[in-house]
Amino acid sequence: MISRRMFAKGAIKGALALASVPVFARAAAAPRPFFIDSDTASDDAVALILAFAEPGIDIVGIGTVAGNVPLDSATQTALYVRELCRSKAPIHVGADRPLTRDLETAQDVHGKDGMGDVGLPIGGRKPDSEDAVGALIEAARRHAGKLELVTLGPLTNIAVALRRAPEIVKQIKSCTVMGGVSDYVGNITPVSEFNIWVDPEAAEITLRSGLAIDMVGWDISRKYAVIDDNDAASLRAIGTERAKVAVDCQKVLRAFNERVSGLKGFDLPDPIAMAIALRPSIGTRRRQDHASVLGGEGPTRGMVMFDESPIGPKGAQIGVVEEASRDGFMAMMREALAR
């Protein structure tokens, strides 16, 4: 016969044993909800591959926006990559032009189809909705306090969403922005990066919104994410369809860099920004700074200007990634492309 005292001792012992088990061992952690906004071309495609492959991530929505390529091309490429990665993440069509400007694309950098013009079967797929802005607002409300936003293109959709529903600022946990440069060395003007340059007005609205922004500039790609020919051959040799597509679609970018940028290979700004969003430790050094976006025309259009003055600094306070782990990024690339 078991006495009440014996039963109580056993219950206490069991409770103590359970308490000693880490929480993650008792129940799987809830996946992190992500919303991705993308002007999908060759580097964005690789960023999406990384996101689709990452354990513990729930991509609750992808919005497309005009930037690298016109809107329909960006949407069709996102749909193609989703199919390639056997994902069911919903894809929503967004803005087909900047807030107040004409669209200027980067098809000379990524190819007419945005994917290196190597004959990939892009086209003929149907998005889940025509309302990327509404999808983002709904996701922010549904996952209030938990949603992680990653932007890979011009910030047009984000600015429209903030204007329509400013309360989402408090509902979005974090926003990783691939845009700008922290060292003032640009890729579209001497001091400006393409994503911000395309729609500087949207970028200024987004930075000043109060979102918890982590900016990953083109300088991080230039320093830590250049894939030379040996790297490219090694990645392609992984042998999966994802690996072949990820390398082959950089054909036009590779030639552009050789001819114009002077980089030895192709660089991957969107993938390294995505890698840092997915695994924050890959961003090894950050600073807090005050930032403003310049509008107008000329060489300073789209420049992200930092104000480090100790006396009344102007601009929005954001996080700026200054250094990253190339080894961590390359390891993540290999993991994703091997799936």
User: Could you give the residue numbers annotated as active site?
Assistant: 39
Q: Is 331 helix (H, G, I), strand (E, B) or coil?
A: helix
Place of tokens 């060292």: 183
Distances (CA, A) of 207 to 155, 297, 304: 10, 20, 10
CA distance 189 to 15: 63
Nearest one of 145, 156, 193 to 37, comparing CA atoms: 156
d(CA 270, CA 47): 6
For 162-278, where are the E strands, in sequence order?
Answer: 172-178, 213-216, 226-227, 266-267
Cβ atoms of 139 and 33 within 8 Å: the answer is yes
One-letter amino acid identity for 69?
V
Which of 222, 166, 178 is CA-nearest to residue 50?
A: 178
The answer for residues whose C-beta is within 8 angstroms of residue 272's C-beta and 6 or more apart is: 216, 220, 221, 224, 225, 282, 324, 329
Sorted by sequence, the CB contacts under 8 Å of residue 240 that are 6+ apart come out as 337, 338, 339
Closest by Cα among 228, 220, 132, 226 to 178:
220
Assigned token pair, 336 = 């994703």
d(CA 317, CA 37): 22
Which residue do the tokens 């390639």 mark? 84
- Cβ pair 148, 282 in contact under 8 A: no
Q: In the 8-state DSSP scheme, what is residue 29?
A: P
